[in-house]
Each structure stands twice: as C-alpha cells, then as structure tokens.
Amino acid sequence: MPESFFLVSKEYPELAVDEVVTLVKMYDRFAKIKTISNLILVQSVTPWEKIARRATFVKTAGQLLRKMSNVFFDENNYSLLFGAKSFMCKAINLSDKPVDIPEIERSLGSMVSTFCNAKVSLEDPDVVIYMIFTDEENFFGFATKFEPAKRPEKLIKFHHELDWKLTRAMINLAKIHDDESVCDPFCGTGSTLLEAQSMGIKSIGIDFDEKMCKITRNNLKKNGFSGEVYNQNYDYMNNLSFDGIVTDLPYGTASKVSEPPKKIMKKFISKMPKKAKFAIMCKKGLDDGVKLNLTKKYEIYRHKSLTRMILVK
C-alpha cells in the first residue's frame, strides 16, 4: 500500500496533526497512521496530494519511497527521477541529534546527478527528494510539483473575523466531505463560505445583519463562487438542508447581537440539528454547562484576556 508523509506546522500542533488524521480517515477508514512529533506517516490508497490540497497546516508532503538506514541509496531508488529535468534535495532533521543539513543535501545531490540527466534546481524543481531524520528512524521520500489551491480574496474584511486557517481546519475537522454542504449560521463576511467553496464544498450562510449578508455575497462573487446567503436569525438553519455546521459564535464589543454570548450559545446549541456534524468556535467558558457530545476540544490562545475554543463533533 502506498505510504505518504506530511510534515505539519507547530503553530497549533495538536490541531494540525488531528486535521491530517481526520482527512486521511475520512477518505480511507482502513488507512494506517503513525505520528512522530509533527511528522505524520500514512499508509493509504488516497494520494498524498488529495490530503495536502485540503489540509491547512501541512508544510511539506510527499510520497514515502522507503525507509532508510543511512543516507546512501542504490541505483533503484532513483527511478523516480526518470523523465524529470530538474530536482533538489532537502534534508529535514526532527531528531535531537546534530545533522549537517547542507553537507547531506550537497552529497546526495551529487550522487543523484551521477544516475540521471536531471539538473539541480533550487527554484522550481520537477522533483524534490526528502531525507527526514527522527529519533526513531529515518525516511526517504519525494514530491513532484504540486500547486495548492488559489487563496480566496475578500473585497471587505474586518480585523476581528475568523482566521482563514482556523476556518479551513474547522471544515476539515468537522469531516465535511467533498460532495457535502456546510452551513455557517453567523457567517459575517463569509470566511467559512469562501474556504468551503475553495475546497469544492457547497456552502450556506446566515446572518441577521443585512450589511454582512451583502458583504458575504460580494466576497463570493469576487472569487467566482456561488452560495446561498440568507438575511435571517441563526435558527433559520432548521429550514435548510446541509451536512455540517462550521461557525464562530459572536462575542464581545465587535458583535452587534443584543443578547449575552452565554445565552446565545445555549439557545444556538438547543436549536442546532441533533445529527449535524460541527466545528464551533467560541470564547472559552461559553461552553460551560452546555451539553455537547464532543469528539474533540481545542484551546486557541489569543492574548491574556482571550482564549478561544474549537468544539468538534
């Protein structure tokens, strides 16, 4: 079975690992997964590009060609370069041992050049050869050219709106499949809808503020996306059909809602479809006393007076 590797950011380490694991299992429930620090090794029939295209916090990904006992390889390992015009070697040290990265990359590059006609290119290589060192074992892999999806743009946005990286990760953690739809009952400027649409997922937005609905529609139009946007209260979601909910509950002075955030949280949860998958962001403490059958909970520290929570089912 093909084996892939994913090196994720340490910005939100637990969330980043879980996002990849969730996507892998969503596409292939029989996949085998092993995690070494922020390195995720996956045995699955799902191509690594499919996971990397959706995952938010993947820094490096590729095909794991074989495990290695040292940095020297035989000629059979260079078959991946046949037809490639250019390559580069990249060593990644995740171990506690000192590794001479420049020397290893130079030596391997020189060796590869003797087995094929490909030339070294540090700018835009056809193939990147990876050597990954960990305290447990070392790995040898590669990645061909991979173009990530183009980032959606906004005509209008606000400083307090939901971060696009966390929005995208929440959609993935909620296990929204490619052929499913997601609803944001507090859509604001449309972050959830934009990220969903950029992944090919249908989206529905609801907001009681007519101005926000107009901004969302314009932001969708700016990117050539379509999406249903309703100027209604959040409980209008029960009149609609969708597979999951991804939203950021309003709080603080930036919110125009008249009810206290704690009250909104309880009312929202009580009206939310019971079988809907969800990833909800809220201020820490708003979930206290609220009965939710969660699969995971994450803390997102902002500053000393604000920690946010991501609640996932």
Q: List, for residues 20-33, the tens digit of each pLDDT value.
A: 999 999 999 999 99
Q: Starting at the earlier edge strand, list the strands of the sheet with 119-120.
A: 32-36, 39-43, 3-8, 58-68, 138-144, 127-133, 86-93, 119-120
Q: What is the pLDDT of residue 253?
A: 44
The per-residue pLDDT of the chain, averaged, comes to 89
Q: What is the pLDDT of residue 99?
A: 94
Structure tokens at 191: 């972050």
**What pTM value is reported for the model?**
0.91
Domains of the chain: 3-144 (3.30.2130.30), 164-312 (3.40.50.150)
Q: What is the pLDDT of residue 146?
A: 77
Highest-confidence segment of 65-69, 234-238, 284-288: 234-238
Share of the chain above pLDDT 70, in %: 92
Residue position matching structure tokens 């609609």: 240
Higher pLDDT, 256 or 266: 266
Give 117's pLDDT tier (boundaries 50, 70, 90).
confident
Burial of 280 (0-12, 13-18, 19+ CB in 10 A): buried
Share of the chain above pLDDT 90, in %: 68
pLDDT (tens digit, 9 = 90+) per residue, 210-255?
999 999 999 999 999 988 999 999 999 999 999 999 999 987 544 5
What are the φ and ψ backbone dihedral angles of 212, each rounded to 5 degrees?
-65, -40
Q: Range with the lowest mean pLDDT among 4-8, 199-203, 261-265?
A: 261-265
Compute how many other C-beta atoms are within 10 angstroms of the C-beta atom of residue 165.
Answer: 16
Q: Range with the lowest mean pLDDT among 6-10, 94-98, 124-128, 196-200?
A: 124-128
